[in-house]
């Protein structure tokens, strides 16, 4: 079975630009969560979507937004990029409705803002 997939793998953007990151969950998983990991720290929660509805939001500015599609894939959008947005962005899937509380992570998208 395919795991969580994310695209692109790497991305370089300029301050002020906009970026869209994409994630496909494990087949059968209906929940997708997004995390930001900066060097030397653990991942920080950004959003969780379950059955296409936002279930939770972390302490991130409104420049960050996300959505989940009918096939349970998801996009994370970041507007007006700042240098501090440079990080590894991780997507994780789970299926809490089926008792799968553990979240399984994709390889991440490395975003560099210059």
Q: Which residues bind other proteins (CB under 8 A)?
A: 4, 31, 33, 35, 40-45, 48, 55-56, 58, 90, 92, 94, 96, 101-108
Q: In Å, how far from its chain's centre is CA 88?
A: 10
CB of 35 to other proteins, least distance (A): 8
Q: Which two tokens stand for residue 1?
A: 């079975």
Are 32 and 68 contacting, i.e. CB atoms less than 8 angstroms apart?
yes
CB of residue 16 to other proteins, shortest distance in Å: 28
Q: Please, what is the minimum distance in Å from the beta carbon of residue 44 to other proteins?
A: 8
Between 45 and 64, name the residue whose CB sits nearer to other proteins: 45
Between 18 and 95, CB nearer to other proteins: 95
CA angle at residue 57 from 51 to 63, to 5 degrees?
Answer: 110
Minimum distance from residue 97 beta carbon to other proteins (Å): 11
Q: What CA–CA distance (Å, rounded) separates 32 from 34?
A: 7
Please tell me the distance from the alpha carbon of residue 95 to that of residue 108, in angstroms, as a whole number: 20
Question: Measured from the CB atom, is 2 or 101 closer to other proteins?
Answer: 101
Q: Which is nearer to other proteins, 2 or 15 (CB)?
A: 2
| 3-class secondary structure, 98 | helix
């Amino acid at each position: 079975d395919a795991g969580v997939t994310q695209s692109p793998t790497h991305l370089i953007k300029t301050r002020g630009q906009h970026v869209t990151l994409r994630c496909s969950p494990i087949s059968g998983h209906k929940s997708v969560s997004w995390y930001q990991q900066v060097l030397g720290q653990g991942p920080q929660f950004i959003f969780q979507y379950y059955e296409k509805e936002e279930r939770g939001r972390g302490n991130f500015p409104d420049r960050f937004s996300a959505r989940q599609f009918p096939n349970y894939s998801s996009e994370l959008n970041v507007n007006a990029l700042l240098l501090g947005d440079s990080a590894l962005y991780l997507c994780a899937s789970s299926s809490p409705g089926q008792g799968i509380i553990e979240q399984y992570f994709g390889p991440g998208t490395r975003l560099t803002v210059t």
